[in-house]
Amino acid sequence: MEWTSATGRKIVLQEGDITRVAADAIVNAANTALAGGGGVDGAIHRAGGAEIMRELDAIRRETGHCATGSAVATSAGKLPAKYVFHAVGPVYRGGRHGEPDLLASCYRQCLRMAEEREVRTISFPAISTGVYGYPLEEAAAIALREVKAHLEQPRTTVQQVIFVLFGRQAYEVYAASLDK
């Protein structure tokens, strides 16, 4: 499924494995320790190779961690991309602890980093919807709102955003939200 902005920029939804989708930048749903993990994070590290973790080790030595709602960039190792943006989404605790703002911040930070690197294509997973428990419907609405707003700006290097969704349910929820 696709959405096209008035400026001709696109959002594409697809079900599948984000590590197999070619894009200039791939977004990783990381943890604050930048230490790897399960889900998307584990898949990106396995497919991308040790180079990504070595770069994260250097970032951790310098900064200690990555705050929730923020992101850091590394190279993409063996992935079909130039960069991996490691975004730390919020753990969902009922939605009354700043989670919507923190999740929106993840998308804005990644899009800002994309602009800084003149990225034309970027792929996102459904940040925070796995073990962090963010409800899919709410997460989809936030993600799509932030990305649409960015793509509708008069000047942006980003021409295509691909949401690579794990499982049919996630795809259907994002498709319904994109249609609104």
Q: What does the alpha-carbon distance between residue 177 and residue 144 come to, in Å, rounded to a whole number? A: 8
Strands 83-88, 71-75: pairing is antiparallel
Q: What does the alpha-carbon distance between residue 133 and residue 94 come to, in Å, rounded to a whole number? A: 9
Q: Which residue has the tokens 């990106």?
A: 44
Phi, psi torsion values for 113, nearest 5 degrees: -65, -35
Tokens at 94, concatenated? 């009922």
Q: Which residue has the tokens 């923020």?
A: 70
Question: What positions carry a catalytic annotation?
Answer: 41
